[in-house]
Structure 1
Amino acid sequence: MVYSKDTELYRRDVKSRGREFTAEEREKLVKPYLPPVPELLAPSKVSSRHSGVRKVKRRRQKPIRSFLKSKLHVLLYFAVHLVFGIYLRLRQTYHAVIDRVLALLYYHHRTPELIQKDVKNLSRLPEHLSVVLTLKGEEDGGLESLMEDVAELSAWCASIGIPLLSIYERSGILKSNMRSLHSLVFQRLSSYFGASQTPSFRLHAPSYPSYPPSATTTPALLPTTSTETTSPPTQSQRRRNIEVLLLSSTDGRDTLVDLTRTLAEMSQSHKLHPRDITQDLIDAELSATTSISLSPPYQLASQTQTPTTPKNQDTITTMSKEPDLLIIFGPYVKLDGYPPWQVRLTEIFCVGESGGGNSGRSGGRVEYQGFLRGLWMFAAAEMRFGR
């Protein structure tokens, strides 16, 4: 029950918006109508009660069982890691031993004849070989080591007779060092074939001019000029002519984005009808990004001159076909941004753990035995093409 006097005082304070009474006066006004305050427990009683609860919980936890359970979990964790670690070491050791045995049995000694002997019994060889390389840190050689790998691969392909070699390196640093790379590859080919028999080669890169700008051929490799008609290159000439194509991540996703933007702008400006944007057009434009210009006697092995070829034809532009074989020098398959439309029908071979050594590091070393194993796999592969 609220007294009428207190009600009037409260309403008067509300009308004045709290200016009639102070906070203490308002508290004194409503205090008689509040419920009684419960008696609080003493701090000592509260602490004793909590300690009793803890003792009960500790008794219920059974410390010996909890200790044994935790030790069992640690033991199982250690056993799983031990078994898995032993398995990995044994597998790495096995691959390292096999790799070293192959390195002893098959070593080129920088002799093209020995390299040809290693592949002479293969039923087929790729006409376009592609390799995925990784730029290592400065402590592992950096750019210099990468260019050495390209030079070795070029010499091996020239010795075997592979006319087109494409090198994929994600950052594209090789494109900005084409002059130095050309000089290094030339020196390596000279050490393999001799100064008088150095194979002819050129470096190509999408959106970059070929190097050297004009095709030059060593005198020992010039075709016969007794007649005006240029005869098709012999097997020896094809073997000694090699084209090196440099690719990077910008030739993959960025190229597709630029092509999409260009076709959209042409369609909006009415320069190209949307019905003209077909699969064949897109395929031709994407393939043109990795096209190479060949000048006689720079020809792929699959190309032959027909009688209708003009005598004054100086340059033959050839679209670089999809790679027949892609070799990844690393412990696992990682395309790392490789142009996807270039590997639709490509055999992919990963060197595996032998490329990383027994230490488990994925160094991605380019070694001759790994290169040979890729060619062996390609020769034994059965091309079904979806059948």
Structure 2
Amino acid sequence: MASRRIRRPEDSMPPADREKLVTSRLPPTEPTQKSALRAFLSHRFHYGVLLLFHFFYSIYLRLRLIYHTLANKTYSMVYYHHRTPELIKRDVQNLARLPGHLSVALELENGDKVAGLDTLIDDMAEIVAWCASAGIFTLSVYEKTGILKGYVSASHRAASQRLNAYFGKNRPSLRIRVPHSAAYTDGGEYDGEADMEVIFISEEDGREALVDLTKTLCEMRQRGKINPEDVSVDLVDTELTDSGFTEPDLLILFSPYVKLSGYPPWQIRLTEIFHVQDNDGVGYHVFLRALHRFAKTEFRFGR
């Protein structure tokens, strides 16, 4: 049975009228003057809102910077140590606890390498004296490039002179150590005990330690000395600790924001990290505030 074709009204229209009908139903090919004006005003409105947001946000940042600068200056004047161990000890004597192992992250300043290295060593020596005065005798100093590792002797000499300026003849003995290397004390290598231990670490220590441990575990597995189920977090932690760098209790960043810069990740799984907003540079007020924050921190260890 033949289907019956349904005739539509436009079928009987002349071609010219049909073309006009189709054209009227299509979107305009060119914006009208009204739509162009609407788009222009919409763009200007959103642009103005964005400028207004940036204006108020920049005011907020400047006010925050002024507030933190004044607060840091006030804190520095009130708690200035005058290179006196007794004053530093008094600043921390009422704290509930102190970190047994403190770590700090320092940065090599861009520009003149010699001047940047001198500043880096000077900051390290000052922090060593603060730690010894506060009763913290294990300090790890992180610097991304590892440049301090090439100047262990100069670093030890600078830190010893700074300790002598603080303590006089009663200064604690100092040992500087680099992972996988012999320790350095007065005059050369030394493997015995010292009152103060400083460890120089860099970005490569975390990466190389994990790579070496992975290779060792793979070789032991191939020789049948270890099973996959024997590899655990405790095993990895023990092996990495035996490499010469234990996990710090507190990590102080002297940057204005949290920037780890490649700090070995495994060693700071449970470490308290502290920084002062808008601060830029090593200062005793940051060191002291970090110790106060650490004393108030409640450690749950995943519970």
Q: Does 1:285 align with 2:239?
A: yes
Q: 1:327 aligns with which of 252, 270, 275?
A: 252
- State the partner residue of 1:306: none
- State the partner residue of 1:80: 53
- State the partner residue of 2:161: 187
Gaps of 5+ in 2: 1-28
Contact 2:76–2:284 (8 Å) recurs in 1: yes
Q: Does 1:202 align with 2:175?
A: yes
- Pick the structure with greater CA Rg: 1
Where do residues 130-169 of structure 1 align in structure 2 (5 Å cutoff)?
Answer: 130-138=103-111, 141-169=115-143
Contact 1:253–1:337 (8 Å) recurs in 2: no
Q: 1:347 aligns with which of 256, 272, 287?
A: 272
TM-score normalized with structure 1 length: 0.65
Taking the aligned partners of 1:198 and 1:216, their CA distance within structure 2 comes to 18
Taking the aligned partners of 1:345 and 1:84, their CA distance within structure 2 comes to 34
Q: 1:274 aligns with which of 227, 230, 241?
A: 227
Contact 1:253–1:339 (8 Å) recurs in 2: yes
Contact 2:182–2:190 (8 Å) recurs in 1: no
1:196-253 C-alpha deviation (Å, 9 max, x unpaired): 2222010011122211212689xxxxxxxxxxxxxxxxxxxxxx92100111111112
Percent of aligned positions that are identical? 47
Deviation at 1:348, TM superposition (A): 1.4
Q: Does 1:381 align with 2:302?
A: no
Deviation at 1:127, TM superposition (A): 1.0
Taking the aligned partners of 1:78 and 1:160, their CA distance within structure 2 comes to 49
Contact 1:112–1:160 (8 Å) recurs in 2: yes
- Letter in structure 2 aligned against 1:368: Y
TM-score normalized with structure 2 length: 0.82
Gaps of 5+ in 1: 1-55, 218-239, 292-319, 357-364
Deviation at 1:276, TM superposition (A): 8.3
- State the partner residue of 1:48: none
- Letter in structure 1 aligned against 2:129: A
Q: Does 1:248 align with 2:224?
A: no
The CA RMSD measured in Å over matched residues stands at: 2.3
Contact 2:125–2:159 (8 Å) recurs in 1: yes
Contact 1:115–1:159 (8 Å) recurs in 2: yes
Contact 1:165–1:244 (8 Å) recurs in 2: yes
Deviation at 1:345, TM superposition (A): 2.2
1:303-322 C-alpha deviation (Å, 9 max, x unpaired): xxxxxxxxxxxxxxxxx4x2
Contact 2:99–2:250 (8 Å) recurs in 1: yes
Where do residues 290-309 of structure 1 align in structure 2 (5 Å cutoff)?
Answer: 290-291=244-245
CA gap of 1:283–1:383, structure 2 versus 1, over 3 A, is closer
Taking the aligned partners of 1:75 and 1:139, their CA distance within structure 2 comes to 43
- State the partner residue of 1:13: none
Q: Does 1:172 align with 2:146?
A: yes
Taking the aligned partners of 2:211 and 2:90, their CA distance within structure 1 comes to 45
- State the partner residue of 2:24: none
Contact 2:182–2:191 (8 Å) recurs in 1: no
Contact 2:183–2:191 (8 Å) recurs in 1: no
Contact 2:221–2:228 (8 Å) recurs in 1: no
